[in-house]
């Protein structure tokens, strides 16, 4: 049995990310995305949709944590990873993991995007059965 610890959702206009990259270039990309996230997105035919989806996922995770973007945190401390053929999931920095209660924790993540919008929903659960925990 799982206990829900937090849920977050976020919607991002793809054009917002496109404009930010156009205006700030690599400085924006380095501030928000990890190297692996950038490599993944720029291998795609429509990289800005994928960047927007990851941005929305990071925001959704922070909402699920119940903290918002607290002082001294970085967007890069929440990384969206996706193994080939697997659903996307979250990897947190050590500092961000300290915001979680102790015990087996699992992140659930759903992201989707179109030409104009990206949406993400994140849920954090405490797992009674440690075999299913990811953190």
Predicted TM-score of the model (pTM): 0.89
Q: What is the pLDDT of residues 61-78, one digit of tens each?
A: 999 988 666 656 789 999
Give the active site residues. 63, 113
Report residue 21 CA to chain centroid gap: 18
Instruction: Please identify which residue in the block is written with the tokens 């799982």.
Output: 2
69 dihedral zone (left: phi>0; alpha: psi -120 to 50; beta)? beta
Write down the architecture of domain 2-132 according to CATH. Alpha-Beta Complex (3.90)
Whole-number mean pLDDT of the chain? Answer: 90
126: β partners: 3, 105
Report domain extents, the chain.
Answer: 2-132
pLDDT tens digit sequence for 12-53: 999 999 999 999 999 999 999 999 999 999 999 999 999 999
């Amino acid at each position: 049995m799982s206990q829900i610890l937090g849920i977050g959702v976020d919607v991002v206009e793809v054009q917002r990310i496109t404009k930010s990259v156009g205006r700030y270039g690599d400085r924006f990309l380095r501030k928000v995305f990890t190297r692996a996230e950038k490599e993944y997105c720029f291998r795609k035919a429509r990289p800005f949709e994928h960047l927007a989806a990851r941005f929305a996922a990071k925001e959704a995770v922070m909402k699920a944590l119940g903290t918002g973007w607290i002082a001294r945190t970085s967007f890069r401390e929440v990384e969206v990873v996706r193994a080939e053929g697997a659903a996307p999931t979250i990897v947190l920095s050590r500092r961000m993991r300290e915001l979680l209660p102790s015990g087996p924790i699992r992140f659930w993540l759903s992201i989707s995007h179109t030409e104009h919008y990206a949406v993400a929903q994140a849920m954090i659960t405490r797992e009674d059965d440690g075999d299913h925990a990811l953190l």
